[in-house]
């Protein structure tokens, strides 16, 4: 479709144009690019867990020595999320996302050459800054390319790539670690996102909603809209749509807690904090909990793989349901079901010399519900916040979640000492609090027919 020429300056509401437009091939291709960035993000999040046994043997250190390392990585994510979210709102989602991919790529590849725990901690913190910032900018970018009726699906299918990246990390680690060692695993985990960042530089455009805020970016915006199939003219002027709330010049934190957003921000932060507390308790400590109960490392690894697989399946199912009926009921049901499944797992015998099929299936089921809720939280945050603070809103929500992850990393060893029952009770409480936070949120995604 060619750009039309007109002498009159006809204003175009870019937000309305995109919200009511179609989700064409071009937007789907851009969603795929963002999703690939999140796959590398998910790979990096879980790479340490797979490398720890090999590093323990090489450096002659205990597993407990890695608790602060994992916490430092999450602290980097917690700091990186709001900073990169601010950069995304201030300088653009595209440049912020590419910068984050470069940061965690460099940090990960550098980890392959470290020789001490303090070096590992520093590099995991650096990589964590990039990892924490990539996700909110990717989700904001995808949300702003998608029409309203497809936005929940687009963002959720992007965020599902976090557990998918963890699954890929497991498959790669299973082949690389025995043959080449943990250094090679980190080389692969760092080189791949660095190469991908070059592709993003060439192929990824900026968000039209972001560009509409700047009159000097009119020509760039017009080219992107034409690529998306919208007819625009040389005489068109562009607006970013109506302002939903807040003072545009005030700080982004004050905007997140403006009267119209205060309740939603409170609910999102509570839900994300509790949900991520449970998720990272599994990511960081599930294999250790299972081996502490006498299970072999193969079975323990299968439990984490089942959790990730269940998460991918759960997100796909939740995406279809949320698109049809909205986000409130499916997310509340998912949080409640996650609580029930954790309580049910506490009744399953965990120990050596028995069939663990039911245990692995139960862990996968819990992963299905928990990851469906956790991933949809990012899509919900992308819906709640207006364009000018969308990246910051999603990033701060993610940062609060990372704080829960830090607590899990630091306290996981103590939870494991309480046995499998205590461990599973903590998971149940975390998802119960997630339910409360989701119930507080007022501005849920509408369904297709709402």
What one-character DSSP code corresponds to residue 205?
P
Helix (H, G, I), strand (E, B) or coil at 23: coil
Is residue 246 in a domain?
Answer: no
Q: Which residues contact 370 (CB under 8 A, 6 or more apart)?
A: 275, 278, 279, 282, 311, 314, 334, 338, 431
Average pLDDT, the chain: 84
Per the listing, tokens 């970018």 go with 141
**pLDDT, tens digit, 9 for 90 and up, residues 303-346:** 877 888 888 888 888 888 888 888 899 999 999 999 999 999 98
Are 342 and 424 a contacting pair, CB within 8 Å?
A: yes
**387 within 8 A of 143, measured Cβ to Cβ:** no
The domain tally of the chain equals 1
Residue with tokens 């990186």: 80
214 part of a folded domain = no
Give the Å distances, CA to CA, from 110 to 103, 115, 131, 190, 199. 11, 11, 15, 8, 21
10 Å Cβ neighbour count for 10? Answer: 10
pLDDT in tens, 232-245: 766 667 776 544 44
Indicate whether 242 belongs to any domain.
Answer: no
Nearest residue to 41 (alpha-carbon basis) of 113, 105, 94, 114 = 105
Residue 1 in domain: no
Phi, psi of 135 (to 5 degrees): -65, -50
First to last CA, the chain: 32
Over range 178-203, report the average pLDDT.
93
Cα separation, 399 vs 201, in Å, equals 26
Domain coverage including residue 344: 15-209+251-440
- CATH number of the domain encompassing residue 75: 1.20.1250.20
pLDDT at residue 47 is higher than 90: no
**Between 436 and 325, residue with greater pLDDT:** 436
Q: How many CA atoms lie within 13 A of 247 on its CB side?
A: 5
Whether residue 225 lies inside any domain: the answer is no
393 within some domain: yes
Question: Of 115-129, 338-352, 429-443, where does mean pLDDT reach its minimum?
Answer: 338-352
pLDDT at 144 over 60: yes
Q: Can you tell me the distance from the alpha carbon of 366 to that of 388, in angstroms, rounded to the nearest whole number?
A: 36
Is residue 231 a part of any domain in this protein?
Answer: no
Kindly state whether residue 266 falls inside one of the protein's structural domains. Answer: yes
What are the C-alpha distances in Å from 240 to residues 11, 12, 148?
A: 10, 9, 15
CA-to-CA distance for 68 and 52, rounded, in angstroms? 13
Mean pLDDT calculated for residue range 8-15:
69
Query: What is the pTM assigned to this prediction?
Result: 0.74
């Amino acid at each position: 479709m060619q750009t039309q020429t007109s002498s009159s300056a006809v204003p175009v509401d870019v937000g309305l144009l995109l919200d009511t437009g179609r989700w064409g091939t071009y937007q789907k291709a851009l969603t795929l690019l963002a999703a690939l960035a999140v796959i590398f993000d998910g790979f990096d999040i879980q790479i340490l867990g797979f490398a720890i046994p090999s590093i323990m043997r090489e450096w002659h250190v205990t597993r407990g020595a890695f608790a602060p390392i994992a916490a430092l990585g999450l602290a980097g994510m917690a700091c990186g999320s709001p900073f990169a979210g601010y950069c995304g709102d201030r300088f653009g989602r595209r440049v912020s996302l590419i910068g984050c991919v470069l940061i965690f790529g460099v940090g990960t590849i550098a980890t392959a050459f470290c020789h001490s725990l303090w070096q590992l901690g520093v590099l995991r913190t650096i990589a964590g800054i990039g990892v924490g910032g990539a996700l909110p900018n990717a989700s904001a970018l995808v949300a702003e390319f998608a029409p309203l009726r497809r936005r929940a699906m687009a963002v959720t299918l992007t965020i599902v790539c976090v557990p998918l990246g963890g699954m890929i990390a497991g498959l790669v680690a299973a082949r690389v670690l025995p043959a080449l060692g943990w250094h090679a695993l980190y080389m692969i985990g760092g080189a791949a996102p660095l190469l991908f960042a070059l592709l993003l530089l060439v192929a990824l455009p900026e968000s039209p909603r972001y560009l509409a805020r700047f009159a000097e970016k009119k020509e760039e915006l017009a080219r992107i809209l034409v690529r998306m199939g919208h007819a625009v003219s040389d005489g068109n002027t562009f607006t970013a749509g109506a302002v939903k709330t807040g003072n545009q010049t005030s700080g982004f934190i004050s905007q997140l807690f403006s009267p119209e957003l205060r309740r939603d921000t409170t609910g999102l932060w509570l839900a994300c904090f509790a949900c991520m507390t449970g998720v990272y308790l599994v990511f960081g400590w599930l294999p250790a909990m299972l081996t502490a109960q006498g299970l072999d490392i193969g079975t323990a690894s299968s439990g984490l793989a089942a959790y990730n697989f269940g998460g991918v399946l759960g997100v796909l199912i939740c995406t279809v349901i949320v698109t049809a009926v909205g986000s409130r009921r499916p997310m509340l049901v998912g949080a409640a079901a996650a609580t029930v499944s954790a309580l049910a797992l506490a009744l399953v015998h965990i120990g050596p010399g028995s069939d663990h099929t039911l245990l692995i299936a139960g862990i996968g089921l819990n992963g299905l519900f928990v990851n469906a809720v956790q991933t949809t939280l990012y899509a919900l945050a992308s819906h709640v916040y207006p364009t000018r603070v969308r990246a910051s809103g999603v990033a701060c929500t993610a940062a609060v979640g990372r704080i829960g992850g830090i607590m899990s990393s630091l306290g996981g060893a103590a939870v494991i000492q309480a046995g499998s029952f205590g461990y599973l009770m903590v998971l149940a409480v975390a998802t119960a609090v997630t339910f409360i936070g989701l119930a507080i949120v007022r501005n849920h995604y509408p369904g297709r027919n709402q």
